[in-house]
Amino acid sequence: MEAARIAAVDADLDRENRALEASTPDELIAWAHERYGERLVASTSFGATSGVMLHLIHRIAPRTPIVCVDTGYLFEETYKFAEDLIKRLDLDVRFYSARMSAARQEALYGKLWEQGEEGVQRYLQINKVEPMQRALRDLGAEAWMAGVRAEQTEHRSGLRRIDRQDGRIKIHPILRWTFRDMESYMEKHGLPHHPLVEQGYRSIGDHHSTIPTTEEMDPRDGRILGKKRECGLHMPLTEEEDQSLKSSGL
């Protein structure tokens, strides 16, 4: 029965993707808002160009809850940038963090992000994946909008604009937008970049694993946390991770 249900969902997603193939980000967000209503949430990292998705939501679905996962290791500038955008766009942002504080984690486990791929994956699970999954459950989310773009990583280049991740519908309104599209939108609407962009930071995450990049480099080369250049939020859970979250009651 479960396999049949998943097959039916996938067939429906295929139809929706075909029907909305030529839709603009505005139209896709409007469709998601109309279809899912209060069961729709969005996410943001308050990164370099996060103002684009946040402004789109502000214009089209302004009361959509927006989740920001706070690892406790964000740049000081990120926290200030977030507050400025929240006030400017009157956003409904919900901050979620790990159940264990950053200080306690370091005391018990050391700096996990310095402990190879296994340590990195544990760090991401504790500080990003679990808080996001908890937020989605708390908010009763059936559908989740994210501002990922195909040109950012290999994984993201294989996504569809309307997809499925861990039993929820995942919507990517700006998936096909290029960096130039992002810059054009920001200029048109007078949106600010993250303040660290001026210092060469073009992809911004935790302060312990983000470095500036030059113009000839891929912006994601500035993210040095793990081999995949992915934070874990936009990757499907493995069977082991799914079982771990369920068995722990998290």
User: Known catalytic residues?
Assistant: 231
Residue 108 burial (C-beta neighbours within 10 Å; 0-12, 13-18, 19+): exposed
Residue 74 has φ and ψ, to the nearest 5°, of: -70, 155
In whole angstroms, give the CA distance from residue 101 to residue 106: 9
Q: Do the Cβ atoms of 12 and 20 come closer than 8 Å?
A: no
Pairing mode of beta strands 162-165, 168-171: antiparallel
Q: Which pair of tokens denotes residue 237?
A: 């859970």
